[in-house]
A and B are shown apart, each in its own frame.
Chain A
Amino acid sequence: AQSVTQLGSHVSVSEGALVLLRCNYSSSVPPYLFWYVQYPNQGLQLLLKYTTGATLVKGINGFEAEFKKSETSFHLTKPSAHMSDAAEYFCAVSATGRRALTFGSGTRLQVQP
């Protein structure tokens, strides 16, 4: 079974500041890991994913995440926040890539001017 814990249901940063959204996972087998973003009244969009290979994954809109097996973490970062980054972010895990995703409870990112 897989599970995801997202630390912090709300994160607020200033425009231009570093964004760090935390995600820890639990999986009995090597995981596939994902970050999705959800803008108001829109469906979820894939930001980035880790399946195999390089542990530092780059996604869209300047986001990146690093898979750390020893820490069972997959934190999402962006060096400089933009107002348009305000949204809800979900971390998700899949056991083999052929099964449905298990999502965390989400982190709402606010960006202050």
Chain B
Amino acid sequence: EAGVAQSPRYKIIEKRQSVAFWCNPISGHATLYWYQQILGQGPKLLIQFQNNGVVDDSQLPKDRFSAERLKGVDSTLKIQPAKLEDSAVYLCASSSDRGMEKLFFGSGTQLSVL
């Protein structure tokens, strides 16, 4: 079974630039999550999708971050404009309807904002 795919693996941008991350979850997984992991901290939920609907985006900085999951499969997370404090690893995870408590994580996208 293929795992959660994320790209790019690394991204370096300057502040005020825009950046987008892509995630393809495990086939058949209805729930998709985006987490932000700042160095030295645990992952923090940014947004949770159930199929193509948003379940929880209470911690998403909506003035600069946006996410979509068209057709309920893959997802894109965008930051516009980026700030220095956005430097982090962005993790995508997915889970099935039956085992929603078990998350499968991708390897993440490491973002450096200079």
Contact = CB atoms under 8 A, between A and B. Distances in A.
Interface of A: 4, 6, 9, 32, 34, 36, 41-46, 49, 51, 90, 92, 94, 97-106
Contacts of B108: 43
Contacts of A9: 40
Q: How large is the interface on B (under 10, 10 to 19, 20 to 34, 35 or more residues)?
A: 20 to 34
Contacts of A45: 105
Given A43-B106, A103-B42, 19 more contacts: A4-B42, A34-B101, A43-B91, A44-B93, A45-B105, A46-B102, A49-B102, A51-B101, A92-B42, A94-B101, A98-B100, A99-B48, A100-B55, A103-B35, A105-B40, A105-B41, A105-B42, A106-B40, A106-B41
Q: Which of A43, A45, A46, A92 has the most CB of B within 10 A?
A: A43
A104 B45 contact: no
Contacts, number: 57
A32 B95 CA distance: 15
A96 B101 CA distance: 8
Contacts of A100: 33, 45, 48, 55-56
B4 A90 contact: no
